[in-house]
Structure 1
Amino acid sequence: MNKNYLQLQRKYGANGTNGTLTYQGQHICYTIELPWRDNLQRLSCIPVGTYKLAKRKYTKHGDQIGIPAVLGREAILIHAANDAQRDLQGCIAPVTAVTGEGKGTESRKALSELKALVYGLWDMGEEVYLVVK
Protein backbone atom coordinates (compact mmCIF):
# COMPACT_ATOMS: atom_id res chain seq x y z
CA MET A 1 0.00 0.00 0.00
CA ASN A 2 1.43 3.33 -1.05
CA LYS A 3 1.27 6.53 0.94
CA ASN A 4 0.19 9.65 -0.93
CA TYR A 5 0.77 13.11 0.49
CA LEU A 6 -1.29 16.22 -0.15
CA GLN A 7 0.71 19.33 0.82
CA LEU A 8 -1.13 22.29 2.37
CA GLN A 9 1.00 25.43 2.52
CA ARG A 10 -0.69 28.03 4.74
CA LYS A 11 -0.65 31.80 5.12
CA TYR A 12 -2.14 33.01 8.41
CA GLY A 13 -4.25 36.15 8.78
CA ALA A 14 -6.22 37.78 11.58
CA ASN A 15 -9.56 36.95 9.92
CA GLY A 16 -8.73 33.63 8.32
CA THR A 17 -6.10 31.20 7.10
CA ASN A 18 -5.56 30.74 3.38
CA GLY A 19 -3.68 27.89 1.81
CA THR A 20 -2.54 26.21 -1.38
CA LEU A 21 -3.11 22.47 -1.76
CA THR A 22 -0.77 20.48 -4.01
CA TYR A 23 -0.27 16.81 -4.86
CA GLN A 24 3.06 15.62 -6.35
CA GLY A 25 3.93 19.25 -7.07
CA GLN A 26 0.69 19.91 -8.97
CA HIS A 27 -1.75 22.61 -7.84
CA ILE A 28 -5.10 21.09 -6.78
CA CYS A 29 -6.94 24.05 -5.24
CA TYR A 30 -6.73 26.81 -2.67
CA THR A 31 -8.09 26.42 0.86
CA ILE A 32 -9.69 28.62 3.48
CA GLU A 33 -9.83 28.02 7.23
CA LEU A 34 -10.47 29.87 10.44
CA PRO A 35 -7.55 31.87 11.90
CA TRP A 36 -5.11 30.14 14.27
CA ARG A 37 -6.53 30.40 17.79
CA ASP A 38 -4.45 27.88 19.77
CA ASN A 39 -6.41 24.87 18.43
CA LEU A 40 -9.63 25.92 20.22
CA GLN A 41 -12.53 23.65 19.23
CA ARG A 42 -14.80 25.19 16.58
CA LEU A 43 -12.81 28.48 16.65
CA SER A 44 -9.38 27.62 15.26
CA CYS A 45 -7.81 25.98 12.24
CA ILE A 46 -6.09 22.67 13.03
CA PRO A 47 -2.41 22.53 14.08
CA VAL A 48 0.46 22.03 11.65
CA GLY A 49 1.18 18.32 11.21
CA THR A 50 0.64 15.20 9.10
CA TYR A 51 -2.81 13.63 9.16
CA LYS A 52 -4.09 10.41 7.61
CA LEU A 53 -7.32 11.13 5.76
CA ALA A 54 -10.33 8.82 6.13
CA LYS A 55 -13.69 8.43 4.44
CA ARG A 56 -16.55 9.63 6.65
CA LYS A 57 -20.24 9.08 5.93
CA TYR A 58 -22.81 11.57 7.18
CA THR A 59 -26.57 11.30 6.89
CA LYS A 60 -26.89 14.96 5.92
CA HIS A 61 -23.79 15.40 3.74
CA GLY A 62 -23.06 11.90 2.40
CA ASP A 63 -19.45 10.81 1.89
CA GLN A 64 -16.87 13.31 3.10
CA ILE A 65 -13.09 13.46 3.50
CA GLY A 66 -12.39 13.30 7.23
CA ILE A 67 -9.30 14.25 9.25
CA PRO A 68 -9.84 11.97 12.27
CA ALA A 69 -6.62 12.22 14.28
CA VAL A 70 -6.49 15.92 15.18
CA LEU A 71 -5.35 16.27 18.79
CA GLY A 72 -8.12 17.58 21.05
CA ARG A 73 -10.59 17.87 18.15
CA GLU A 74 -13.32 15.79 16.56
CA ALA A 75 -15.37 15.72 13.35
CA ILE A 76 -12.81 17.71 11.32
CA LEU A 77 -13.67 17.48 7.62
CA ILE A 78 -12.71 18.88 4.26
CA HIS A 79 -15.98 20.32 2.95
CA ALA A 80 -17.43 23.10 0.82
CA ALA A 81 -17.55 26.67 2.21
CA ASN A 82 -16.82 30.11 0.77
CA ASP A 83 -16.56 32.04 4.06
CA ALA A 84 -14.56 30.52 6.95
CA GLN A 85 -15.98 32.76 9.68
CA ARG A 86 -19.56 32.01 8.63
CA ASP A 87 -19.36 28.39 7.45
CA LEU A 88 -16.48 26.62 9.22
CA GLN A 89 -15.92 25.32 12.77
CA GLY A 90 -12.33 24.17 12.39
CA CYS A 91 -12.70 22.29 9.11
CA ILE A 92 -10.86 22.98 5.85
CA ALA A 93 -12.71 24.23 2.76
CA PRO A 94 -11.25 23.89 -0.75
CA VAL A 95 -11.90 26.91 -3.00
CA THR A 96 -11.20 27.73 -6.64
CA ALA A 97 -9.95 31.24 -5.84
CA VAL A 98 -9.15 33.17 -2.67
CA THR A 99 -10.95 36.51 -2.37
CA GLY A 100 -9.76 37.58 1.11
CA GLU A 101 -8.64 36.21 4.48
CA GLY A 102 -10.71 33.07 4.99
CA LYS A 103 -12.84 33.80 1.93
CA GLY A 104 -13.01 32.16 -1.49
CA THR A 105 -15.18 31.22 -4.46
CA GLU A 106 -16.55 28.09 -6.13
CA SER A 107 -15.89 25.81 -3.18
CA ARG A 108 -18.15 22.99 -4.44
CA LYS A 109 -16.23 22.85 -7.74
CA ALA A 110 -12.87 22.69 -5.91
CA LEU A 111 -14.22 20.03 -3.51
CA SER A 112 -15.44 17.80 -6.34
CA GLU A 113 -11.97 17.96 -7.98
CA LEU A 114 -10.27 17.15 -4.67
CA LYS A 115 -12.71 14.30 -3.95
CA ALA A 116 -12.08 12.83 -7.43
CA LEU A 117 -8.36 12.67 -6.63
CA VAL A 118 -8.63 11.38 -3.04
CA TYR A 119 -11.43 8.87 -3.69
CA GLY A 120 -9.58 7.66 -6.79
CA LEU A 121 -6.51 6.90 -4.64
CA TRP A 122 -8.65 5.23 -1.95
CA ASP A 123 -10.39 3.11 -4.61
CA MET A 124 -6.93 1.78 -5.59
CA GLY A 125 -6.30 0.81 -1.95
CA GLU A 126 -3.91 3.72 -1.34
CA GLU A 127 -3.45 5.72 1.87
CA VAL A 128 -3.80 9.50 1.65
CA TYR A 129 -2.19 11.93 4.08
CA LEU A 130 -2.52 15.68 4.50
CA VAL A 131 0.68 17.53 5.42
CA VAL A 132 -0.15 20.94 6.90
CA LYS A 133 2.76 23.42 6.90
Structure 2
Amino acid sequence: MELILKRTYFQDGTNGEIFLDQEKICCTIELPWRNNEKRISCIPEGRYQLKKRYSQKLKFHILLNDVTERDLILIHPANEALKELKGCIAPVLQHTSAGKGINSRFANERLKKLVFDAFAKGEEVFLKIVPLAPLSHQ
Protein backbone atom coordinates (compact mmCIF):
# COMPACT_ATOMS: atom_id res chain seq x y z
CA MET A 1 0.00 0.00 0.00
CA GLU A 2 1.29 3.47 -0.80
CA LEU A 3 -0.04 6.60 0.86
CA ILE A 4 0.66 9.99 -0.71
CA LEU A 5 1.29 13.07 1.46
CA LYS A 6 0.83 16.26 -0.56
CA ARG A 7 2.46 19.22 1.21
CA THR A 8 2.13 23.00 1.15
CA TYR A 9 4.96 24.95 2.79
CA PHE A 10 4.56 28.06 4.92
CA GLN A 11 6.92 30.09 7.10
CA ASP A 12 5.26 28.88 10.34
CA GLY A 13 4.61 25.27 9.37
CA THR A 14 3.88 22.72 6.70
CA ASN A 15 0.35 21.59 5.93
CA GLY A 16 -0.50 18.45 4.04
CA GLU A 17 -3.10 15.90 3.12
CA ILE A 18 -2.66 12.12 3.05
CA PHE A 19 -4.37 10.16 0.28
CA LEU A 20 -4.84 6.48 -0.48
CA ASP A 21 -5.52 6.23 -4.19
CA GLN A 22 -7.75 9.30 -4.67
CA GLU A 23 -9.39 9.16 -1.21
CA LYS A 24 -8.31 11.72 1.40
CA ILE A 25 -7.55 10.00 4.70
CA CYS A 26 -6.62 13.03 6.82
CA CYS A 27 -4.75 16.33 6.90
CA THR A 28 -1.28 16.72 8.43
CA ILE A 29 0.83 19.37 10.11
CA GLU A 30 4.61 19.52 10.35
CA LEU A 31 7.38 21.96 11.14
CA PRO A 32 8.40 24.39 8.39
CA TRP A 33 11.12 23.35 5.91
CA ARG A 34 14.48 24.33 7.42
CA ASN A 35 16.96 22.33 5.33
CA ASN A 36 16.25 19.04 7.16
CA GLU A 37 17.83 20.33 10.37
CA LYS A 38 17.11 17.97 13.25
CA ARG A 39 14.30 18.95 15.61
CA ILE A 40 13.40 22.20 13.76
CA SER A 41 12.55 21.08 10.21
CA CYS A 42 10.10 18.80 8.50
CA ILE A 43 11.76 15.88 6.71
CA PRO A 44 12.69 15.86 3.02
CA GLU A 45 10.27 14.80 0.34
CA GLY A 46 10.69 11.18 -0.65
CA ARG A 47 9.30 7.67 -0.21
CA TYR A 48 9.51 6.11 3.24
CA GLN A 49 8.55 2.66 4.47
CA LEU A 50 6.25 2.76 7.50
CA LYS A 51 6.75 0.46 10.50
CA LYS A 52 4.79 -0.25 13.65
CA ARG A 53 6.55 0.96 16.81
CA TYR A 54 5.77 0.90 20.52
CA SER A 55 6.81 3.30 23.28
CA GLN A 56 5.50 3.81 26.82
CA LYS A 57 4.48 7.38 26.04
CA LEU A 58 2.74 6.90 22.67
CA LYS A 59 1.87 3.17 22.87
CA PHE A 60 1.61 1.74 19.33
CA HIS A 61 2.35 4.31 16.63
CA ILE A 62 3.88 4.66 13.15
CA LEU A 63 7.59 5.13 12.43
CA LEU A 64 9.04 6.36 9.12
CA ASN A 65 12.01 4.19 8.20
CA ASP A 66 15.33 5.41 6.74
CA VAL A 67 14.79 9.16 6.76
CA THR A 68 17.94 10.89 5.46
CA GLU A 69 20.11 12.17 8.35
CA ARG A 70 17.21 11.74 10.81
CA ASP A 71 15.92 9.09 13.20
CA LEU A 72 12.77 8.46 15.20
CA ILE A 73 10.51 10.32 12.77
CA LEU A 74 7.04 9.33 13.96
CA ILE A 75 3.43 9.90 13.06
CA HIS A 76 1.67 10.93 16.26
CA PRO A 77 -1.01 13.35 17.53
CA ALA A 78 -0.29 17.08 17.83
CA ASN A 79 -2.34 20.17 17.09
CA GLU A 80 0.43 22.79 16.86
CA ALA A 81 3.65 21.89 15.03
CA LEU A 82 5.96 24.55 16.46
CA LYS A 83 5.02 23.68 20.06
CA GLU A 84 4.51 19.91 19.87
CA LEU A 85 6.66 18.46 17.05
CA LYS A 86 10.40 17.95 16.61
CA GLY A 87 10.37 16.73 13.01
CA CYS A 88 7.50 14.27 13.19
CA ILE A 89 4.22 14.28 11.26
CA ALA A 90 0.90 14.87 13.03
CA PRO A 91 -2.41 13.83 11.45
CA VAL A 92 -5.20 16.36 11.99
CA LEU A 93 -8.81 16.37 10.91
CA GLN A 94 -8.69 19.96 9.66
CA HIS A 95 -6.11 22.74 9.29
CA THR A 96 -6.71 25.93 11.25
CA SER A 97 -3.59 27.79 9.99
CA ALA A 98 0.00 27.03 8.95
CA GLY A 99 1.29 24.15 11.07
CA LYS A 100 -1.88 24.02 13.16
CA GLY A 101 -4.94 21.79 13.14
CA ILE A 102 -7.70 20.22 15.21
CA ASN A 103 -8.83 16.75 16.29
CA SER A 104 -5.39 15.20 15.93
CA ARG A 105 -6.09 12.16 18.11
CA PHE A 106 -9.14 11.25 16.00
CA ALA A 107 -7.22 11.69 12.72
CA ASN A 108 -4.26 9.73 14.09
CA GLU A 109 -6.49 6.79 15.07
CA ARG A 110 -8.07 6.78 11.60
CA LEU A 111 -4.66 6.67 9.92
CA LYS A 112 -3.27 4.09 12.37
CA LYS A 113 -6.21 1.76 11.77
CA LEU A 114 -5.69 1.90 8.01
CA VAL A 115 -1.94 1.27 8.28
CA PHE A 116 -2.13 -1.38 11.02
CA ASP A 117 -4.87 -3.26 9.11
CA ALA A 118 -2.51 -3.41 6.11
CA PHE A 119 0.31 -4.69 8.35
CA ALA A 120 -2.03 -7.37 9.74
CA LYS A 121 -2.59 -8.58 6.15
CA GLY A 122 1.18 -8.83 5.66
CA GLU A 123 1.38 -5.77 3.41
CA GLU A 124 4.24 -3.32 3.31
CA VAL A 125 3.14 0.30 3.65
CA PHE A 126 4.93 3.33 2.19
CA LEU A 127 4.42 7.07 2.55
CA LYS A 128 5.42 9.13 -0.49
CA ILE A 129 5.85 12.83 0.37
CA VAL A 130 5.43 15.24 -2.55
CA PRO A 131 4.91 18.99 -2.90
CA LEU A 132 1.47 20.26 -3.81
CA ALA A 133 3.31 22.72 -6.09
CA PRO A 134 6.98 22.61 -7.20
CA LEU A 135 9.39 24.17 -4.71
CA SER A 136 12.38 26.33 -5.43
CA HIS A 137 14.11 25.81 -2.09
CA GLN A 138 14.49 22.00 -1.98
Across the aligned residues of Structure 1 and Structure 2, the Cα RMSD in angstroms comes to 0.5
The one-character-per-residue Cα deviations of 1:89-123 (angstroms, maximum 9, x if unpaired) are 00000000000000000000000000110000000
CA drift at 1:68: 2.2
Gaps of 5+ in 1: none
TM-score, reference length from structure 1: 0.96
AA of the residue aligned to 1:116: K
TM-score, reference length from structure 2: 0.93
**% same residue:** 48
Residue correspondences, number: 130
Partner of 2:24: 27
Please give the alpha-carbon distance, in whole angstroms, between the structure 2 residues aligned to 1:64 and 1:116: 10
The one-character-per-residue Cα deviations of 1:54-88 (angstroms, maximum 9, x if unpaired) are 11111221111000210110110000000000000
CA drift at 1:14: 0.2
SS at 2:62 equivalent: strand
Structure 1 runs, 4 residues or longer, greater than 4 Å off: none
Please give the alpha-carbon distance, in whole angstroms, between the structure 2 residues aligned to 1:20 and 1:64: 19
Please give the alpha-carbon distance, in whole angstroms, between the structure 2 residues aligned to 1:59 and 1:11: 32
Partner of 2:69: 72
Gaps of 5+ in 2: 131-138
AA of the residue aligned to 1:25: Q
